[in-house]
């Protein structure tokens, strides 16, 4: 099960997050989302736990728990939504390219 963890302190790293979840069962992976340009944590991440019962136990125990002065938000991650877009730098509403010699 993929678990969303929000309101993380910016100083929290993946090892810290793994240690918080390990008492509840096997942790398959940990990923803290970071800003592409600065590398700074965005304050949320995801934990993958293979056993649903262990994941539910972790969610129940850790949601609202304080970590370094911040109350964590912990719940089952929702599937990623299609963000659409992907048009790139050209196009727009003018009807395609064509340049200046149309």
pLDDT at 97: 56
pLDDT at position 92 is: 53
Q: pTM surpassing 0.85? A: no
**Average pLDDT of every residue of the chain:** 88
| CATH tag, 2-76 | 3.30.70.330
C-alpha 98/C-alpha 90 separation (Å) is 11
Long-range contacts of 14-17 (CB under 8 A, 24+ apart): 14/45, 17/45, 17/47
pLDDT surpasses 70 at 8: yes
Percent share of the chain, pLDDT over 90: 75
Q: Where are the domains of the chain?
A: 2-76
pLDDT at 17 over 90: yes
Tokens 């929000």 belong to residue: 6
Nearest to 67 by CA among 11, 2, 22, 3: 11
Tell me what the mean pLDDT of segment 15-42 comes to.
96
């Amino acid at each position: 099960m993929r678990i969303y963890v929000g309101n993380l302190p910016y100083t929290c790293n993946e090892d810290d997050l793994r240690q918080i979840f390990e008492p509840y069962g096997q942790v398959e992976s940990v990923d803290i989302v970071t800003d592409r340009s600065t590398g700074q944590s965005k304050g949320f991440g995801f934990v993958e736990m293979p056993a649903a019962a262990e994941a539910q136990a972790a969610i129940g125990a850790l949601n609202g728990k304080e970590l370094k002065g911040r109350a964590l938000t912990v719940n089952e991650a929702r599937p990623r939504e299609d963000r659409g877009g992907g048009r790139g730098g050209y196009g727009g509403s003018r009807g395609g390219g064509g340049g200046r010699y149309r």
